[in-house]
Structure 1
Amino acid sequence: MRQEPRHEPAPLPRHLRVHEDRGHTVVELRGEIDIATAAEIGPHLDRVTDRPGARVVLDLSRIEFFDCSGLRLVYRARSRVLDRGGQLQLVCTHPLTLRVFRVTGLSRLLPPRPTLDAALGQPEAASGPL
């Protein structure tokens, strides 16, 4: 009898940490989020946002650089979570990244919170439909 090979999940990239906290899946992005790291992070973020009713917090408090590739990751995660009836919160304090969110209008769709505790303690502020 031939056994199918087991596919272990790929290890998390160094720019990503995922953990559970108060009923939410917290996805921490770290360092520089550019086109190369976005390509590494994307599949892991898709897996987290694929569950119906997922409650996800994207924590950007440890990023140093964030370009349009990172913006696409955030918008895609938001769309996937909302399409599946879930909630998405955003933690961000980096001034340049906050500016990108404001200029693009994403801060109106997904209001950034200053801390993880603030995001986890305010479900009514979760991102909702347009």
Structure 2
Amino acid sequence: MELSVAGGIDRTVVAVNGNLDVATAGELRESLHHAIGDAGTSLIVDLTGVWFLDSTALGVLVGVHKRLLERGGGLQLVCPRDGLLRIFRLTGLDRVFAIHASLTAVPA
């Protein structure tokens, strides 16, 4: 798994490449917590480069989302892959996260 982080205090984009599973969940959690820091309230996770994610990775995303909600913010996802979208739909997480087809589709 590879991550790149861009953005500022109010909005940060984390682009993820690779598989998100039990083997990478700890690194993902740590990286996302670091990306939001103490002041961050809005996080966008770009899953364009992700081909697989498991329930452990979903749990990390839910945990980060809850943390941001406590601060008055939230987590948005960029997810153009039908296979991953199906996972979000089956788990009901498509009703929890704002999911966008591309980074340019995320509201400013």
Tell me the residue number matched to 2:6: 19
CA deviations over 1:59-108 (Å, ceiling 9, x no partner): 11110111112111211111111111113211001112111100111101
Structure 2 counterpart of 1:48, which letter? A
Structure 1 regions of 5+ residues with no counterpart?
Answer: 1-13, 124-130
SS of corresponding position for 2:24: helix
Gaps of 5+ in 2: none
CA RMSD of aligned residues (A): 1.8
Alpha-carbon offset, residue 48 of structure 1: 2.4
Taking structure 2 as the reference length, what is the TM-score of the superposition? Answer: 0.87
Could you tell me the TM-score, scaled by structure 1's length? 0.74
Identity, % of aligned positions: 36
Q: Which has the greater radius of gyration? A: 1
| Structure possessing the higher relative contact order (Cα contacts under 8 Å, 6 or more residues apart) | 2
| Counterpart Cα distance in 2 of 1:86 and 1:52 | 10
2:68 to 69, 81, 88: 81
Say yes or no: does 1:71 pair with 2:63.
Answer: no
Q: Aligned residue pairs: how many?
A: 107
